[in-house]
């Protein structure tokens, strides 16, 4: 903790991890709210309107926390990572500025209308503003993922005389092959969070025998969304994994805990990477599966960590390995839960199945954990590079900011975010208690 670099990394990791708890829900809910509003418009059933209003209140709370914790992310590029910004701002500044210009204006303008203007806009206008909020938030996701994708797999740049990065091709930046897979994967992760939170809330109402009509709507919408998202998470995760194999092979070896090169490499389901002796302890292996997943060939050769010099290894192999395995393990569980609940739903027996309702109710923390572990996999996997293969993380921090000053603000953020988290819990709890039948004045303003 006495090096500024360590504090700067913790600073970004902490604020980014906390921040992303909120957008993952709002991006997922934005789509589900559009779906509820569409049903309301088509059927004219007041239940769907009220369901949408209820989730809009949850959305608004999370959106507010997402906004206030998001501004520090943009600022930190300059405050704590000035060498990186000075060098790469000409490229990633494009996507960051586009996010402000194209998504935030759209999102904030129409969210104001959506929350405050239901009566004024009429049903079609209100539905349209929900669609625009959804578009704004998903475009925001794309531009941020592209920013990260450029750091993972830089495209469309040139180097200036001082080594600084300049834009060489706008379209290569905007259509980065890494970004396309990563974006779809990230957005499906957000839908999974929104869907499981919705289904979990519905299950809570059914188990508690309150607001049961709404509980059934939430479960139906949530389970359908969760099944859709978790299947696409599998497909997009596969695409993303093959990008890692192609562009960051040493990261692939680390995430899979593969120390030695092998033909027909096995997939490690469990085990503890021991970087000191270069082996996976207590491994539970599926033979040949890693080769197949990576190269679609059961006996293909997959390179292990020992092929690469240590200074190219991600600097925290065990944490990277665990993050990846937690993400994949939870993703698999999501498919099972969503599929079983989907079948029971189609057979008309889900609402009476107490065990499944309990499983759904308790499921809500896990997509948050999976999304967090997923981002940890991406960012730990990028190490020791800030811009993969081109700029080391250690070279990007602000030379003028001392460890003591950085620690001061990290501690400050920790205190503020703890308070913010407590307030958030209190507000969400109150909204759940009020339930969708409490039509407050706010929804009609």
By CB under 8 A, what part of segment 379-398 binds other proteins? Answer: 398
Phi-psi region at 122: left, alpha or beta (left = phi > 0; alpha = psi -120 to 50): left
**Residue 288, Cβ neighbours under 10 Å: how many?**
18
CA–CA separation, 375 and 330 (whole Å): 14
3-state secondary structure 363-379: CCHHHHHHHHHHHHHHH
* Rg over CA atoms, the chain: 23
**Contacting other proteins (CB under 8 A), which of 6, 17, 38, 79?**
79
Q: Within positions 170 to 209, which residues make up the interface with other proteins, using CB under 8 A?
A: 170
CB of 84 to other proteins, least distance (A): 8
Verify binding: residue 110, other proteins, rule CB under 8 A.
yes
Instruction: For the CB of residue 87, give the shortest distance to other proteins in the complex, in Å.
Output: 8
Q: Does 94 bind other proteins (CB under 8 A)?
A: yes
State which of residues 17, 38, 109, 260 lies at the interface with other proteins (CB under 8 A). Answer: 109
Least CB distance from residue 99 to other proteins, whole Å? Answer: 7
**Under rule CB under 8 A, residue 78 binds other proteins:** yes
Residue 419 C-beta: closest distance to other proteins, Å: 9
Helix axes 177-208, 23-43, angle to 10 degrees: 70
Give the interface segment with other proteins, choosing from 27-35, 159-167, 304-312, 343-351 (CB under 8 A). Answer: 159-167
Residue of 50, 17, 150 lying closest to 417 (CA atoms): 17
How is residue 33 written in tokens?
């709210």
Are β-strands 165-167 and 157-159 bridged in parallel, bridged antiparallel, or unpaired? antiparallel
Query: Is residue 67 part of the contact set for other proteins (CB under 8 A)?
Result: yes
Q: What's the rounded Cα separation, in Å, for the pair 310 and 317?
A: 11
- Tokens 């999976």 label which residue? 370
Q: How far is the CB of 33 from other proteins (least distance, A)?
A: 18
Q: How far is the CB of 57 from other proteins (least distance, A)?
A: 7
Region from 30-38, 80-88, 214-222, 313-321 binding other proteins, contact rule CB under 8 A: 80-88
Residue 135 binding other proteins, by CB under 8 A: no
Q: How far is the CB of 97 from other proteins (least distance, A)?
A: 3
- Contact between 70 and 21 (Cβ < 8 Å): no
Site string for other proteins, 395-424 (x = CB under 8 A): ---xxxxx--xx-xx--x---x---x--x-
Residue labelled with tokens 């349209």: 128
14 binds other proteins (CB under 8 A): no
211: left (phi over 0), alpha (psi -120 to 50) or beta: left
Please tell me the number of Cα atoms within 13 Å of 242 on its side-chain side. 15
Cβ-based nearer residue to other proteins, 362 or 426: 426
Out of 24, 26, 69, 248, the residue judged to bind other proteins by CB under 8 A: 69
Nearest Cα residue to 278 out of 305, 249, 250? 305
Q: Does 105 bind other proteins (CB under 8 A)?
A: yes
112 binds other proteins (CB under 8 A): yes
Integer Cα distance of 208 and 203 in angstroms: 8
Beta carbon nearer to other proteins, 123 or 278: 123
Q: Is 20 in the site for other proteins (CB under 8 A)?
A: no
């Amino acid at each position: 903790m006495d090096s500024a670099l360590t504090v700067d990394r913790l600073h970004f990791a902490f604020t980014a991890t906390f921040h992303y708890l909120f957008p993952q829900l709002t991006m997922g809910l934005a789509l589900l709210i559009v779906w509820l509003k569409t049903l309301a418009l088509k059927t004219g059933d007041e239940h769907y309107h009220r369901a949408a209003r209820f989730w809009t209140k949850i959305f608004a709370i999370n959106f507010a926390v997402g906004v206030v914790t998001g501004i520090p992310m943009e600022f930190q590029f300059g405050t704590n990572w000035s060498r990186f910004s000075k060098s790469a701002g000409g490229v990633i500044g494009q996507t960051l500025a586009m996010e402000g210009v194209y998504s935030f204006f759209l999102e904030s303008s129409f969210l104001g209308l959506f929350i405050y203007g239901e009566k004024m806009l009429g049903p079609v206008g209100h539905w349209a503003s929900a669609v625009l909020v959804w578009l704004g938030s998903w475009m925001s996701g794309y531009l941020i993922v592209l920013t990260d994708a450029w750091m993972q797999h830089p495209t469309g740049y040139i180097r200036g005389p001082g080594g600084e990065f300049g834009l060489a091709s706008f379209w290569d930046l905007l259509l980065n092959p890494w970004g396309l897979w990563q974006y779809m994967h990230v957005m499906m992760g957000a839908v999974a969070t929104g869907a499981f939170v919705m289904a979990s809330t519905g299950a809570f109402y059914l188990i508690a025998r309150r607001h049961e009509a709404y509980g059934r709507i939430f479960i139906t919408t949530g389970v359908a969304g969760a099944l859709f998202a978790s299947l696409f998470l599998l497909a997009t995760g596969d695409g993303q994994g093959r990008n890692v194999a192609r562009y960051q092979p040493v990261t692939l070896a680390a995430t899979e805990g593969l120390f030695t090169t092998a033909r027909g490499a096995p997939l490690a389901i469990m085990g503890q990477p021991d970087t000191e002796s270069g082996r996976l302890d207590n491994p539970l292996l599926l033979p040949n599966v890693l080769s197949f997943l990576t190269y679609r060939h059961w006996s293909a050769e997959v390179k292990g960590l020992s092929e690469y010099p240590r200074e190219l290894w991600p600097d925290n192999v065990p944490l990277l390995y665990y993050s990846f395995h937690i993400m994949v393990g939870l993703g698999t569980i999501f498919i099972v839960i969503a599929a079983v609940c989907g079948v029971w739903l189609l057979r008309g027996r889900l609402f009476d199945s107490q065990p499944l309702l309990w499983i759904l109710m308790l499921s809500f923390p896990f997509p948050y954990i999976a999304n967090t572990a997923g981002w940890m996999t991406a960012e730990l996997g990028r190490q020791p590079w800030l811009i993969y293969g081109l700029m080391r993380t250690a070279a990007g921090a602000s030379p003028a900011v001392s460890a003591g000053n950085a620690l001061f603000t990290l501690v400050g953020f920790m205190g503020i975010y703890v308070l913010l988290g407590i307030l958030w819990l209190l507000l969400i709890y109150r909204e759940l208690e009020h339930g969708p039948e409490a039509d407050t004045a706010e929804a009609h303003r």
